[in-house]
C-alpha cells in the first residue's frame, strides 16, 4: 500500500475516533394511565412554582436534585406556556413560612405556598435512580470506550387551590458519550459530567407538555393583588398573556372542604363576587393588569380568585 493510501486510511480512522454523544428519552404517565392527555394548551400562561427535587439515588448528593429542578424550570420557561417561580425564591418563601423544603412538600404545604405566592400549581419531584456505566471494545489497532448515564425522575403536579395531585409522571432519560483511539492516538479522559444534565433533560422534557395539557383542563386563574372599590389589580398581566377585554369570574375562597374518608382537602367554599373585565396593564413591563368588577357581591380584596370566564 502506498504512503498516501496509508495516510488517507489513518485520517478516516481518526475521524471516526472523534468523541460523540447521544441522548435518549423515555416518558411514562403513572397517573390516569388509561386517559390520554389530548387537550391542547390555550389561554394565558399558567403560574407555577418548582421546588428543589429530592435526590433518592446514591449518586451526586448535594447537586443532582438542584440540577433536575433547574433543568425543569428552563424547559417550562422555554415552552412559553408558564410563568415559573424558581426554586431559590420558593425556598426563601418556605424558610420564611417555616415550611419543609425539597421534594417533601405535602398537599397542605402546597396550598399554603400557593396562597402566599399566587400560584396555580407546584411541581415537586425526586431523582429516584441515577447510574453511570462504562462500555467498550478493544481491537488490534482501535479502541472504543463510552460512558452511559441513566436516570429516572418522579414528578407530581399539585393544584394549590385543592391540594390534590393532578398529575403524577415518571420520566427516564439516557445519555452516552463515546470516545475512541487509533494506535494509541485519540481522545481519553475521565468522567464526563455533562452526561448528568443531558440524561436529566431527556427524562424531564415530556413532563412540560403533560403538565400543560393537564392544567388546561381547568379554568385559568389568577389572584387579586390589591383592590380599590370596583378596580382590581391582578397578579397576571401582559407577560402572562392576559389581554384587555378579557372576562373573569371572581370568587372569595372560604372554609376548606374535606373528603370525609381521607380527610384530604378537595376544595373550598366560594362566594361569587361578580364578573370583571380587564381594562389595562399596570406600569411598564410588569406582570400586572387592572380589571373592573361588576356585580352586587362583596367588594374584592387581596387573595381573592379570578377565573377565566367560559
Q: What is the dihedral of CA 245, 44, 269, 230, to 10 degrees?
A: -30
The CA distance from 31 to 48, in Å, is 20
- Listed range (23-27, 111-115, 219-223, 228-232) with the worst mean pLDDT: 23-27
Sequence-separated (6 or more) residues with CB below 8 Å from residue 176 = 21, 22, 146, 147, 148, 149, 195
pLDDT band at 195 (very low <50, low <70, confident <90, very high): confident
pLDDT band at 60 (very low <50, low <70, confident <90, very high): low
Which cell is 3 given? Answer: 504512503
The CA distance from 150 to 129, in Å, is 8
Sequence-separated (6 or more) residues with CB below 8 Å from residue 309 = 247, 248, 249, 275
Q: What is the pLDDT of residue 25?
A: 47
Sequence-separated (6 or more) residues with CB below 8 Å from residue 262 = none
Helix (H, G, I), strand (E, B) or coil at 240: coil
Helix (H, G, I), strand (E, B) or coil at 306: strand
Closest residue by Cα to residue 253 from 163, 156, 123: 163
Instruction: Quick: pLDDT tens for 5-51.
Output: 444 444 334 444 444 444 444 444 343 443 443 344 456 999 999 98
Contacts 24+ apart (CB under 8 A), 298-302: 298/252, 298/271, 298/273, 299/227, 299/229, 299/230, 299/273, 300/224, 300/227, 300/232, 300/250, 300/252, 300/273, 301/224, 301/227, 301/252, 302/223, 302/224, 302/225, 302/226, 302/227
Assess contact for 179 and 19: CB atoms under 8 A.
Answer: yes
The CA distance from 208 to 123, in Å, is 11
State CA 193 to chain mean position distance: 23
Calculate mean pLDDT across residues 57-78.
86
pLDDT band at 207 (very low <50, low <70, confident <90, very high): very high
Helix (H, G, I), strand (E, B) or coil at 182: strand
Instruction: Quick: pLDDT tens for 97-112.
Output: 666 555 456 777 777 7
The CA distance from 82 to 207, in Å, is 13
| φ/ψ (deg, to 5) at 93 | -65, -40
Distances (CA, A) of 190 to 23, 38, 174, 291: 19, 44, 19, 59
Q: Tell the burial category of 2 from Cβ atoms under 10 Å away from its Cβ (0-12, 13-18, 19+).
A: exposed
pLDDT band at 285 (very low <50, low <70, confident <90, very high): low
Instruction: Indicate the pTM of the whole model.
Output: 0.74
Domains of the chain and CATH, by start:
19-215 (3.40.50.10610), 221-308 (2.40.10.410)
Is the model more confident about 3 or about 92?
A: 92
- What is the residue-averaged pLDDT of the chain? 77
Is the model more confident about 164 or about 273?
A: 273
Amino acid at each position: 500500500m502506498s504512503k498516501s493510501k496509508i495516510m488517507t486510511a489513518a485520517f478516516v480512522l481518526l475521524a471516526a475516533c472523534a468523541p460523540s454523544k447521544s441522548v435518549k428519552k423515555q416518558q411514562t404517565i403513572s397517573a390516569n394511565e388509561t386517559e390520554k392527555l389530548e387537550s391542547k394548551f390555550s389561554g394565558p400562561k399558567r403560574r407555577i412554582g418548582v421546588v428543589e427535587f429530592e435526590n433518592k439515588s446514591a449518586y451526586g448528593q448535594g447537586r443532582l436534585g438542584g440540577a433536575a429542578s433547574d433543568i425543569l424550570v428552563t424547559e417550562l420557561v422555554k415552552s412559553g406556556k408558564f410563568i415559573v417561580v424558581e426554586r431559590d425564591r420558593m425556598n426563601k418563601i418556605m424558610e420564611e413560612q417555616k415550611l419543609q423544603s425539597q421534594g417533601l412538600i405535602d398537599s397542605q404545604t402546597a396550598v399554603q405556598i400557593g396562597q402566599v405566592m399566587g400560584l396555580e400549581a407546584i411541581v415537586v419531584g425526586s431523582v429516584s435512580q441515577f447510574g453511570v456505566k462504562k462500555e467498550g471494545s478493544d481491537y488490534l489497532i482501535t479502541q472504543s470506550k463510552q460512558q452511559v448515564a441513566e436516570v429516572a425522575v418522579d414528578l407530581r403536579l399539585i393544584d394549590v387551590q385543592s391540594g390534590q395531585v393532578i398529575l403524577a409522571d415518571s420520566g427516564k432519560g439516557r445519555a452516552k458519550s463515546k470516545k475512541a483511539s487509533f494506535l494509541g492516538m485519540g481522545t481519553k479522559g475521565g468522567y464526563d459530567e455533562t452526561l448528568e444534565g443531558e440524561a436529566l433533560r431527556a427524562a424531564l422534557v415530556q413532563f412540560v407538555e403533560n403538565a400543560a395539557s393537564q392544567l388546561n383542563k381547568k379554568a385559568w386563574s389568577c389572584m387579586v393583588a390589591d383592590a380599590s372599590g370596583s378596580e382590581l389589580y391582578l397578579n397576571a398581566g401582559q407577560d402572562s398573556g392576559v389581554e384587555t377585554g378579557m372576562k373573569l369570574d371572581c370568587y372569595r375562597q372560604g372554609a376548606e372542604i374535606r373528603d370525609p374518608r381521607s380527610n384530604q382537602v378537595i376544595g373550598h367554599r366560594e362566594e361569587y363576587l361578580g364578573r370583571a373585565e380587564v381594562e389595562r396593564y399596570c406600569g411598564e413591563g410588569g406582570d400586572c393588569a387592572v380589571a373592573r368588577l361588576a356585580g352586587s357581591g362583596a367588594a374584592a380584596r387581596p387573595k381573592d380568585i379570578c377565573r377565566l370566564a367560559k
